[in-house]
Amino acid sequence: MKLYKNFESWDDNHDTVVSIGMFDGVHIGHARVIQATVELAKSRQLKSVIITFSNHPSEYFLPDHQEKLLSSPSEKLKLIEALGVDYIFLLPFDHFMANYSASQFVSDVLIQKLTCNAMVLGYDNHFGKNREGTISFLKNQYADQMEAISVEAAIIKEETVSSSLIKSKIGHNDIPGANELLGYAFELSGKVVEGNKLGRTIGFPTANLSLPDETKLVPPTGVYESNVFVKGLSLKGITNIGYRPTIENSSLIKIETHILNFDQDIYHELMTIQPGRKIRNEIKFESIEQLKMQIKADLAQVHVTS
């Protein structure tokens, strides 16, 4: 897959099949659209192109509101690449994109730049200023220049899969339910940074995760059973997301994981955690001894397979 950061750098002369969207999380509904784009391109011996954005459009329209995202730009690129896409444009959603009319976009980008043979859109997808670009718009005005294909919604257990629904499930502590709609396990990835090392002194050392992107969605505070991936190893752990009220009552959310049966130096290593079932809410204990007893009880709930 080749990555482009702007339309001016496009350097391929193949005809294409194109889709455009935010694709936050690249959930199973998004995957269906992207796979349809890839398969159609292959069947016609064309190139597949995905156009997406590095920031959520709401960041432009509502600058005081920070939309939390299911996937960082780098995570999104990896998920899209895994679906076999030939080319991807990762663009900032800025004043230029917000004011690019659908007709201009079709003429300037799809037809002249990308020589688009077909446009594939999700059932509710729109593009262009005022969201005027739709399947009907393409079929009514550009039927003689390109095919317009709509992909039906993905429906799981009578729920239409969407990024907002997945965020809601995570926000209500239903990470397993969110994972079912994503089609993979929700992850938090970043470098392990030094903390105050109190966990080690009480017998439960923790790895403190620093997220590289502040827009990444973080589950609600609490203690979660988690899968942990670090230094090529797949491990089990319990992850506390919260403010550590017993120890310091931090003003910032911290993500710290006690990894079972593990005692290696992983400072500055890249670590990925997959929070799963929530074990309990974050609690302020009266003493460190009470905290230790609770951690032991938490660990007893972690399911470890041999």
Cα pseudo-dihedral 98, 104, 109, 110, rounded to 10:
110
What pLDDT, on the 0 to 100 scale, is given for residue 107? Answer: 96
CB 230 within 8 A of CB 269: yes
The CATH number of domain 2-154, selected from 3.40.390.30, 3.40.50.300, 3.30.70.1050, 3.40.50.620: 3.40.50.620
What pLDDT, on the 0 to 100 scale, is given for residue 241? Answer: 94
CATH class label, 187-300: mainly beta
What pLDDT, on the 0 to 100 scale, is given for residue 304? Answer: 62
| CB hemisphere CA count around 212 (13 angstroms) | 14
Domain with CATH 2.40.30.30 in the chain: 187-300
What pLDDT, on the 0 to 100 scale, is given for residue 3? Answer: 98
What is the maximum alpha-carbon separation in the chain? Answer: 74
Give the pLDDT of the chain (306 residues) as one tens digit per residue. Answer: 999 999 999 999 999 999 999 999 999 999 999 999 999 999 999 999 999 999 999 988 998 888 899 999 999 999 999 999 999 999 999 999 999 999 999 999 999 999 999 999 998 899 999 999 999 999 999 999 999 999 999 999 999 999 999 999 999 999 999 999 999 999 999 999 987 666 565 668 899 999 999 899 999 999 999 999 999 999 999 999 998 766 666 668 899 999 998 988 999 999 999 999 999 998 877 778 888 888 888 888 887 653
Only one residue has tokens 């099949």, namely 17
Domain with CATH 3.40.50.620 in the chain: 2-154
Handedness of CA 189, 192, 196, 199 (dihedral sign): positive
